[in-house]
Amino acid sequence: MTERITLTSSIDGFTFAALKTMPRAEPIGLVVVVQEIFGLSDHIAEVCGVFADAGYVAIAPSLFDRVEPGFQAGHDADGVKKGIGAVRASPWRQVTADIQAAIDAAAQPAYVAGFCYGGAATWMAAAHCTGLKAASCFYGRLIEDLTDNAPKIPVMLHYGAHDASIPPENYERVRLAAPNAPLYLYDAGHGFCRAGNADYHAPSRELALKRTLDWFARWR
């Protein structure tokens, strides 16, 4: 079951929305699911369902509610422009505080997984948030600019080998900065986990999510 909840950030007391999906049985932990630039899309809701089916409480914070309550952006050029504007208006300290609010919302062993922009936000959460056990970053182009923020927890990384927006030199810099982090390349492009995306690749998505679940179980 998925419901909308509200969270409160410790940085400024701002109250913002989140999706929360509960598993059918007793939870084994919490996964914070971090959005792409498009807000709490159907894709993010669906990924919350995947983690809930695996036994986790899944919470996806709406990180751009300060920009626009209930922020949503389409996947066309205008939507991408709107999403990029929201990213630029959201300092990392604020973003990690909002993710921390999601971590604190459930008394469970906590993990974090994020996609695209959310992959970079997940890296930052791994460096700056407390109460996390492990993280999984999906095609986070911005991570290469954030490597001075060393993760404090085990991190796994996923990239599409045919992603034109993330060339090999990008993820190789990340590999050098985090040599102990498993880094996987998939026979896919950018956003391969999102159904409806031109680069959606079901086998890569399935494998990456399985690796993520195995990774979280390892650090339970």
Q: What is the pLDDT of residue 146?
A: 98
Q: Are 19 and 4 in contact (CB under 8 A)?
A: yes
Q: 48, 137, 163, 201: which one is catalytic?
A: 163
Q: Which amino acid is at 58?
A: A
Q: 116, 129, 137, 193: which one is catalytic?
A: 116
CB neighbours of residue 13 within 10 Å: 7
Task: Determine how β-strand 56-61 pairs with β-strand 15-21.
Answer: antiparallel
Task: Using DSSP, state whether 197 is helix, strand or coil.
Answer: coil
Query: Is 24's pLDDT higher than 90?
Result: yes
Q: What is the pLDDT of residue 93?
A: 97
Sheet holding 132-138, edge to edge: 2-8, 15-21, 56-61, 29-34, 110-115, 132-138, 155-160, 183-186
142 DSSP assignment: G
**Structure-token pair, residue 187:** 């026979």
Q: What topology does CATH give the domain 2-218?
A: Rossmann fold (3.40.50)
Q: Which amino acid is at 85?
A: G
Task: Using DSSP, state whether 11 is helix, strand or coil.
Answer: coil
- To the query of whether residue 201 is one of the catalytic residues in this protein, the response is no
Every domain of the chain and the residues it spans: 2-218
Q: 75, 128, 158, 190: which one is catalytic?
A: 190
Q: What is the pLDDT of residue 107?
A: 85
- To the query of whether residue 116 is one of the catalytic residues in this protein, the response is yes
Question: Given CA atoms 71, 191, 128, 147 in this order, what sign does their dihedral have?
Answer: negative
- To the query of whether residue 163 is one of the catalytic residues in this protein, the response is yes
Tens-digit pLDDT profile for residues 142-174: 999 999 999 999 999 999 999 999 999 999 999
Tens-digit pLDDT profile for residues 85-143: 999 999 999 999 999 999 999 988 999 999 999 999 999 999 999 999 999 999 999 99
The Cα–Cα gap between 58 and 46 comes to 10
Residues ≥6 apart with Cβ < 8 Å to 90: 63, 64, 66, 67
Tens-digit pLDDT profile for residues 32-87: 999 999 999 999 999 999 999 999 999 999 999 999 999 999 999 999 999 999 99
Q: Which among 213, 174, 219, 218 is positioned nearest to 47, based on CA atoms? A: 213
